[in-house]
């Protein structure tokens, strides 16, 4: 059987930012590929450069060197084929729940006729269990509901590549677990390609085909770990010995990088 086609391809990508006191090297020589339908997570210490990597895929940051391709074309800017979920909730406070979901469907390449727009909004209201709150404003929603709304917005425009930057970080454990299963359900139905950034080793293993461990700054790839569990997955998986072994292995790698990142932060004595 043919391998699924390559979607996103980082090839020896490096990034430095210019700063008043010289420059800061944030990403160093990263190469990895995400294929159609794959779910890949990046884990690594805060400040190591993960959001920078995602911003390149989104088209907001340009590599200083190396190449970054989507579907064999260089990424030169943002595009309607990518749905981005940022660390902060990606919802507009001045729009209602249904207006938030419809927002992207009124713009540019994703513009849809009113009837179709309404059908999509209704479908996601239902899927995210937000129908009762369709006319509510985000400030009246719980954190979990706002997160579901952000997910609905990102999904409504039907991007085939989803870029998610710590989307579940602010949620309590129960809501987070419910969001994981909701995401897996949707992915089973819709077959998206996903790049997820997360602090949580468990989340990365539970959701992904592959977990990429990123080093302390500058971001380098420490290890790429294949996650062998078939989909659909269920939360009981997290009690399995094989899951625990992977968790221990990846945790150790990540903790080493956290320590290295901390050492950078401490002023020299
Ligand atoms: N536009 C920028 N200009 C200068 N430095 C930046 C910029 N964006 C991020 N940085 C720095 O790059 C490093 C990595 O940031 P980021 O990619 O947000 O890491 P992470 O998401 O892993 O926490 C941090 O030290 C941050 O301060
Ligand atoms: Mg970040």
The ligand that comes nearest to the alpha carbon of residue 17 is 1
- 221 vs 253: CA distance, rounded Å: 11
Instruction: Please state, for a pLDDT cut of 70, what percent of the chain lies above it.
Output: 97
Q: Which of 21, 30, 50, 52 to mutate to test the pocket of ligand 1 (most atoms within 8 A of CB)?
A: 52
The CB density around residue 248, as the number of other CB atoms within 10 Å, is 10
Token look-up 């938030």 returns 100
Query: Is 144 a residue whose pLDDT tops 90?
Result: no
Q: Which residue has the higher pLDDT, 207 or 82?
A: 207
**Average pLDDT over every residue of 25-52:** 95
Query: Does the pLDDT of residue 169 top 90, yes or no?
Result: no
pLDDT score at 269 = 63
CA of 134 to the centre of ligand 1 (A): 36
- The alpha carbon of 214 and the centre of ligand 1 are apart by a number of angstroms equal to 14
- Indicate yes or no: pTM above 0.85: yes
Whose alpha carbon is nearest atom 14 of ligand 1? 49
* pLDDT for position 130: 94
Please determine, for residue 148, whether its predicted confidence score (pLDDT) is greater than 80: yes
Task: Please give the pLDDT value at position 28.
Answer: 97
Least confident range from 20-24, 68-72, 240-244, 248-252: namely 20-24
Task: Note the pLDDT of residue 88.
Answer: 65
Query: Which domains occur in the chain, in start order?
Result: 6-81+161-265 (3.40.50.300), 91-159 (no CATH)
pLDDT band of residue 1 (cuts 50, 70, 90) is low
| Per-residue b or e along 52-67, where b marks 16 or more CB atoms closer than 10 Å to that residue's CB | bbbbbbbbebebeebe
pLDDT at residue number 129: 87
Mean pLDDT value across the chain: 91
In sequence order, the β-bridge partners of residue 25 are 16
| For ligand 1, mutation pick of 13, 14, 16, 17 (most atoms within 8 Å of CB) | 17
Q: Which residues contact 68 (CB under 8 A, 6 or more apart)?
A: 8, 9, 10, 11, 13, 56, 57, 74, 75
Assign 168 a pLDDT band (cuts: 50, 70, 90).
confident
Half-sphere exposure of 210 (CA within 13 A, CB side): 17
- Ligand 1 contact via 46 beta carbon (within 6 Å): yes
Sheet holding 82-85, edge to edge: 82-85, 161-165, 193-198, 39-43, 210-214, 221-226
Residues whose CB falls within 8 Å of the CB of residue 95, separated by 6 or more in sequence, listed in order? 103, 137, 138
pLDDT digits (tens, 9 = 90+) for 51-94: 999 999 999 999 999 999 999 999 999 887 888 887 666 789 99
């Amino acid at each position: 059987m043919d391998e699924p086609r390559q979607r996103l391809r980082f090839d020896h990508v490096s990034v430095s930012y210019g700063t008043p006191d010289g420059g800061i090297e944030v990403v160093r020589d990263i190469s990895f590929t995400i294929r159609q339908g794959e779910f890949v997570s990046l884990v690594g210490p805060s400040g190591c450069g993960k959001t920078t990597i995602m911003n390149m895929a989104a088209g907001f940051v340009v590599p200083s060197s190396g190449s970054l391709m989507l579907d064999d074309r260089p990424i030169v800017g943002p595009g309607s084929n990518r749905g981005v979920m940022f660390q902060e909730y990606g919802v507009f406070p001045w729009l209602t729940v249904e207006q938030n979901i419809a927002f992207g469907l009124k713009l540019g390449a994703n513009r849809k006729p009113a009837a179709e727009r309404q059908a999509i909004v209704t479908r996601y209201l239902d899927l995210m269990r937000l129908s009762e709150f369709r006319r509510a404003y985000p400030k009246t929603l719980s954190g979990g509901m706002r997160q579901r709304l952000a997910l609905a917005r990102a999904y409504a425009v039907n991007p085939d590549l989803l870029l998610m930057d710590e989307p579940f970080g602010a949620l309590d454990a129960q809501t987070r677990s419910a969001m994981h299963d909701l995401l897996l359900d949707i992915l089973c139905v819709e077959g998206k390609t996903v790049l997820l950034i997360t602090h949580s080793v468990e989340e990365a293993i539970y959701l992904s085909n592959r977990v990429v461990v990123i080093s302390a700054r500058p971001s380098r790839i420490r290890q790429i770990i294949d996650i062998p569990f078939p989909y659909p997955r269920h939360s009981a998986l997290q009690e399995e010995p094989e899951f625990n072994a992977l968790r221990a292995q990846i945790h150790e790698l990540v903790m080493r990088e956290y320590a290295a990142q901390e050492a950078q932060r401490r002023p020299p004595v």
